[in-house]
């Protein structure tokens, strides 16, 4: 026993104290990392990976490169000034034959249809006829099969498809596109819809943020200054909407604001209006419903900051001769700015991604950018366009956050 104790003591004496401390520190860090590992994996899988994949899809599309390899190789030396030579048409015929046999003409046509509307069906019919060709000359034959193969913009499109990476989706997201010479030009006015959608999204988000601030600040002040026996029941009414889903709250506004809803009936009964007003399926209904949903998100950070402000500050200002409004504006209000900044930033960012509420209570000209992302994802199956719109929205949000940080300072934000 004595011998064993002596051996253990000798073993510890042989390890320097610094190494022992480093070993203990490593074990402590390993335990801490093990505790946060589930959350880290969840964030990586559910947040970081989808966003990274979305950004990748916005600039990557190898459909034509993978399904038409011969045509892409034949166009590598094409200068784009005139129609390609016979070799390119022969490669096109072989690729269309293979696509028809492998039933991939739909994917090729869909990819080309993104940039030139209406060519998808032409590609399919061309592939069906090209599958019966046994020999050349291919240039005259392919143009005879379908005149689109005699158009230079079709070949310019295929030439751009020789790269797996494209800027088409990002350009289209800001109403720009390629012309027949592969130069970047503005989209035709009848196709320029996304810049207006982004501006509309920003405008509605700013309007809802201002409305929630104007409505929420007095309520937060009231809750922060009333006795707890009164403020606590009122606070329950503020958070009560969280117990119902956004869909239910939005549908409730449809009932209230419709042509023969409670609001119109009340206004007519009070002789304020003589006929039902248009309160829904327009911008007014969208802002009203979104303001109702977002109000607690702006109110609660302001309220939590107000609760930390000592009433003695205003009393001290009043004792020094300041009037009620002057004491409030010069002493109390500046201390609430951190809560106002937190609430407004939270509401504004949440509003940027709204989809359900504008879709239910807004009109055709009130749809926000999330509507178009859902449209390209669920109906068009155009993942590149949906990813590009989401990418632009993400960049716009980060830019606004950067500007906010420069003007206000994120470190000044307080939640309570």
User: For residue 4, what pLDDT is reported?
Assistant: 52
Residue 220: pLDDT over 90: yes
In a domain, 188, yes or no: no
Q: Work out the average pLDDT over 124-141.
A: 88
Shared domain for 213 and 340, answered yes or no, is yes
* Intra-chain end-to-end CA distance of the chain, in Å: 60
Domain hosting 271: range is: 193-412
- Quick: pLDDT tens for 39-87: 999 999 999 999 999 999 999 999 999 999 999 999 988 888 888 989 9
User: For residue 388, what pLDDT is reported?
Assistant: 95
- Choose the weakest-confidence range: 9-23, 128-142, 201-215, 313-327: 9-23
In a domain, 300, yes or no: yes
> How many independent structural domains does the chain possess?
3
Shared domain for 143 and 228, answered yes or no, is no
Burial 363-382 (b: 16+ CB within 10 A, else e): eeebbbbbbbbbebbeeeeb
| CA nearest to 109, candidates 126, 130, 124 | 124
The C-alpha atoms of residue 396 and residue 386 are separated, in whole angstroms, by: 15
Confidence grade of residue 1 (pLDDT, cut at 50, 70, 90): very low
- Quick: pLDDT tens for 290-322: 999 999 999 999 999 999 999 899 999 999 999
The C-alpha atoms of residue 365 and residue 381 are separated, in whole angstroms, by: 23
The C-alpha atoms of residue 93 and residue 126 are separated, in whole angstroms, by: 9
User: For residue 332, what pLDDT is reported?
Assistant: 94
In a domain, 6, yes or no: no
User: For residue 29, what pLDDT is reported?
Assistant: 93
| CA nearest to 354, candidates 371, 332, 335 | 371
Around Cβ 33, how many Cβ atoms within 10 Å?
10
Residue 117 in contact with residue 153, Cβ under 8 Å? no
Shared domain for 332 and 212, answered yes or no, is yes
- Please report the beta strands in 278-352, taking only residues with DSSP state E, as ranges in sequence order: none
The C-alpha atoms of residue 92 and residue 70 are separated, in whole angstroms, by: 7
Q: Work out the average pLDDT over 94-118.
A: 91
User: For residue 244, what pLDDT is reported?
Assistant: 87
Residue 336 in contact with residue 305, Cβ under 8 Å? yes
Q: Work out the average pLDDT over 198-212.
A: 95
User: For residue 13, what pLDDT is reported?
Assistant: 55
Residue 7: pLDDT over 80: no
User: For residue 116, what pLDDT is reported?
Assistant: 87
Shared domain for 102 and 26, answered yes or no, is no
Shared domain for 99 and 151, answered yes or no, is yes
Instruction: Scan for tokens 């920003």, then name that residue.
Output: 202
Residue 153: pLDDT over 60: yes
- Quick: pLDDT tens for 330-377: 999 999 998 998 899 899 999 998 999 999 999 888 899 999 999 999
Shared domain for 301 and 346, answered yes or no, is yes
User: For residue 175, what pLDDT is reported?
Assistant: 92
User: For residue 412, what pLDDT is reported?
Assistant: 63
User: For residue 134, what pLDDT is reported?
Assistant: 83
Residue 407: pLDDT over 80: no
Shared domain for 298 and 265, answered yes or no, is yes
User: For residue 76, what pLDDT is reported?
Assistant: 87
Residue 204: pLDDT over 90: yes
In a domain, 1, yes or no: no
In a domain, 185, yes or no: no
250: β partners: none
């Amino acid at each position: 026993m004595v011998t064993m104790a002596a051996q253990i003591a000798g073993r510890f004496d042989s390890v320097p104290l610094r190494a022992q401390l480093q070993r203990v520190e490593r074990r402590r860090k390993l335990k801490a990392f093990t505790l946060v590992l589930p959350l880290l994996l969840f964030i990586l899988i559910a947040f970081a990976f989808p966003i990274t994949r979305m950004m990748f899809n916005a600039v990557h599309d190898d459909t034509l490169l993978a399904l038409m390899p011969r045509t892409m190789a034949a166009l590598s030396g094409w200068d784009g000034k005139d129609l390609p030579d016979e070799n390119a048409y022969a490669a096109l015929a072989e690729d269309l034959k293979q696509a028809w046999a492998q039933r991939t003409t739909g994917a090729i046509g869909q990819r080309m249809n993104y940039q030139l509307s209406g060519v998808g069906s032409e590609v399919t019919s061309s592939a069906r006829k090209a599958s019966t060709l046994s020999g050349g000359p291919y240039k005259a034959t392919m143009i005879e099969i379908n005149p689109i193969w005699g158009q230079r913009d079709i070949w310019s499109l295929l030439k751009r498809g020789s790269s797996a990476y494209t800027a088409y989706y990002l350009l289209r997201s800001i109403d720009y596109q390629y012309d027949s010479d592969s130069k970047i030009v503005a989209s035709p006015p009848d196709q320029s819809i996304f810049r207006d959608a982004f501006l509309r999204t920003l405008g509605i988000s700013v309007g809802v943020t201002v409305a929630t601030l104007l409505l929420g600040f007095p309520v937060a002040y009231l809750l922060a200054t009333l006795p707890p026996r009164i403020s606590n029941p009122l606070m329950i009414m503020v958070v009560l909407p969280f117990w119902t889903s956004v869909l239910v709250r939005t549908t409730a506004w449809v009932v209230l604001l419709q042509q023969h809803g409670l609001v119109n009936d009340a206004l007519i009964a009070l002789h304020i209006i003589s006929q039902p007003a248009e309160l829904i399926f327009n911008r007014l209904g969208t802002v009203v419903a979104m303001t109702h949903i977002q109000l607690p998100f702006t109110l609660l950070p302001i309220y939590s900051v107000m609760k930390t402000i000592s009433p003695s500050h205003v009393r001290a200002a009043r004792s020094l001769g300041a009037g009620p409004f002057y004491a409030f504006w010069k002493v109390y209000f500046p201390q609430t700015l951190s809560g106002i900044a937190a609430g407004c930033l939270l509401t504004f960012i949440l509003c940027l991604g709204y989809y359900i509420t504008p879709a239910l209570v807004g009109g055709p000209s009130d749809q926000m950018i999330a509507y178009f992302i859902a449209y390209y994802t669920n109906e068009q199956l155009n993942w590149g366009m949906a990813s590009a719109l989401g990418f632009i929205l993400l960049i716009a949000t980060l830019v606004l956050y950067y500007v906010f940080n420069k003007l206000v300072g994120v470190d000044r934000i307080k939640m309570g």
